[in-house]
């Protein structure tokens, strides 16, 4: 079956630093990847849509200069949280897929001190 990995699975960083999260499709090529974040006791909110070889499309209210998304290949998309602050602490999940099916990564828990 299609497998999507995320790395790291959890990360703790100091306020003001940048953190990169990787999303990889391990056994298929993904033309589209979605990035979500989830605050405690809330649902998953779509942050951006990432298409290979083009700029990401961000949802309203998501700062594109703060959450940098790069989809450099058909198997890898990265989300970089720049100058992270405690309010960026959240659970980040990616999906990867083709056509009409998306597969889910296990998530990355970010804690900013």
Among residues 44, 62, 74, 76, the one that binds another protein under rule CB under 8 A: 44
Closer to another protein at the Cβ: 33 or 112? 33
Give the span between the Cα atoms of 94 and 48, in whole angstroms. Answer: 10
Regarding 93 and contact with another protein (CB under 8 A), the answer is yes
We find the least distance from the C-beta atom of residue 38 to another protein, in angstroms, to be 9
Give the span between the Cα atoms of 113 and 111, in whole angstroms. Answer: 6
Regarding 28 and contact with another protein (CB under 8 A), the answer is no
Contact mark string toward another protein, 58..77, x via CB under 8 A: --------------------
Is residue 52 classed exposed, middle or buried when 0-12, 13-18 and 19+ CB atoms within 10 A define those classes? middle
Among residues 19, 23, 24, 34, the one that binds another protein under rule CB under 8 A: 34
Q: Encode burial over 24-33: b for 16+ CB neighbours within 10 A, e otherwise.
A: bbeebebebb
Segment contacting another protein by CB under 8 A, of 15-23, 63-71, 80-88, 101-109? 101-109
Residues 6 or more apart from 38 whose CB is under 8 A from it?
44, 45, 90, 91, 92, 93
Q: Please report, as ranges, the residues that interact with another protein according to CB under 8 A.
A: 34, 36, 42-46, 49, 91, 93, 95, 100-102, 104-107, 109
């Amino acid at each position: 079956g299609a497998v999507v990995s995320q790395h790291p699975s959890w990360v703790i960083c100091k306020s003001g630093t940048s953190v990169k999260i990787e999303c990889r499709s391990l056994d298929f090529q993904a033309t589209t990847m979605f990035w979500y974040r989830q605050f405690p006791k809330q649902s998953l909110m779509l942050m951006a849509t990432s298409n290979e070889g083009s700029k990401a499309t961000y949802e309203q209210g998501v700062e594109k200069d703060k959450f940098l998304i790069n989809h450099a290949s058909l198997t890898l998309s990265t989300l970089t949280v720049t100058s992270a602050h405690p309010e960026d602490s959240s659970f980040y999940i990616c999906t990867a897929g083709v056509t009409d099916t998306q597969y889910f990564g296990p998530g990355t828990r970010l804690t900013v001190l």
